[in-house]
Amino acid sequence: MISSRNTIATLACVATLCGCLPAGAADSPEPRQRVRDLGIVIGQYSTGEQNAITDVPGVKVGQATLISGDGPLKPGHGPVRTGVTVVVPRDDVWHKKVPAGSFVLNGTGEMTGLAWVSESGFLEYPIALTNTLNIPRVANGVMNWMIARYPEIGITDDTLTPVVAECDDGRLNDIQGRHVSEADVVRALDSASSGAVQEGSVGAGTGMVSYGFKGGIGTSSRRLPETEGGYTIGVLVNANHGRRPELVVGGVPVGRLYEAVPPVAQALSPGQSEGSIIVIIATDAPLDGRQLTRLSKRAALGLARTGSTARHGSGDFMLAFSTGNIIPHYPNDRTYTLTQLADTHMNPLITATVEATEEAILNALTMASTVVGRDGHRAEAISITRLRTLLDHPAR
């Protein structure tokens, strides 16, 4: 068991980057691959350079992965299989706010701060993803980070209501322990960067299970041709939703064709969560809050294409923001100017959002590694070999 929190996170990140498995993950002979590396091409549009939400200029992602202990659950102590993932819309988003909108497909879950996003039509701080019981501590971490940068918050400046979204990782993690600290959140925010994004069993996705397989963080992007505006759309998900028989990959009913469901993926007892998904959408297209709400709704179609039916106990939250405009903080002038894309030219963005959402979810599955959590609960990664066979011979 590794005792240092920073060391745990660092080792987990390094292991993910090199293709090895972090502590707490089960041995697996298969390297993980993104769905495009498997020959699965989703939709018609090309991806951005990284095929990630960070292809949208200015957007950064940071993560802290917490893995320690094994064996029987000791509430409040471990084993720990959890983390935090943050999305930073742009530098100085407090003074240069981004238009934003959201959609809740099914509300058995929580994304704090949506009332203010809906009322104002903008977002003014980073977005944080974590587990259900860790929301208050993660919100504290975001506030600590913001106050350190803007010390007049709550004194001569406005207050803030952080946007923190949750999924339940209690099947693998000591969720009562609320192990993600304020310092972990600050560390994730300080380390947020553009470029490639780690996927699978990392950050907020460390303890997540999706479609009866190990789930977690996934991302994808689309870049429209210049004839359709040349805009970029990026999506990041935390996938913790769905039952195995529902899973569809590239139109193939993989979930129904796969082997028997393992114990951790079987039907849960009453009172336990059926799982959730958080979808974050970023674009540089100049959209306002109303249009971004419309875009958020379309992400639900990408979710549906992977087989989800947004079950009764599922929490399905979508949040979209645009870096294509700046909403000033307390402008001196009575008016300011924004550029807005005409609704009649939104169709390519809508299609791109659906495509990127579907691919981000599948990347979460194919990039996740098997994790053994509390009480020996094992969330098995989807077999890349088995998946290839089913896609090549779907009738078998």
CA distance 296 to 104: 9
User: In the structure encoding, which two tokens stand for residue 335, read together?
Assistant: 């008016």
List 221, 296, 314, 369, catalytic entry: 314
Tracing tokens 């504290």 back to the chain, one arrives at 140
Among 175, 169, 168, 171, which Cα is nearest to 108's? 168
List 276, 296, 322, 369, catalytic entry: 276
Which residues contact residue 324 at a Cβ distance below 8 angstroms, ignoring those fewer than 6 apart? 99, 231, 283, 284, 285, 286, 287, 339, 341
3-state secondary structure of 374: helix
User: In the structure encoding, which two tokens stand for residue 219, read together?
Assistant: 């991302």
Among 279, 274, 22, 307, which Cα is nearest to 168's? 274
CA distance 74 to 70: 10
List 184, 296, 316, 322, catalytic entry: 316
CA distance 206 to 28: 17
Q: What count of other Cβ atoms lies within 10 Å of the Cβ of residue 261?
A: 16
Identify whether 314 is a catalytic site residue.
Answer: yes
Tracing tokens 């599948």 back to the chain, one arrives at 362
Which runs of consecutive H residues, i.e. helices, occur in the chain?
A: 5-18, 114-120, 135-149, 182-190, 254-257, 289-305, 347-367, 384-392
Q: At what angle do helices 182-190 and 5-18 cross, to 10 degrees?
A: 40
* 295 touches 287 (CB < 8 A): yes
Tell me whether residue 396 is exposed, middle or buried, using C-beta atoms within 10 angstroms of its C-beta: 0 to 12, 13 to 18, 19 or more: exposed
Identify whether 276 is a catalytic site residue.
Answer: yes
User: In the structure encoding, which two tokens stand for residue 140, read together?
Assistant: 């504290």
Print burial letters for 355-393: b (CB count within 10 Å at least 16), e (below 16). Answer: bbbbbbbbbbbbbbbbbbbbeebebbbbbbeebeebbee
3-state secondary structure of 384: helix
Identify whether 316 is a catalytic site residue.
Answer: yes
Which residues form the catalytic set? 276, 314, 316
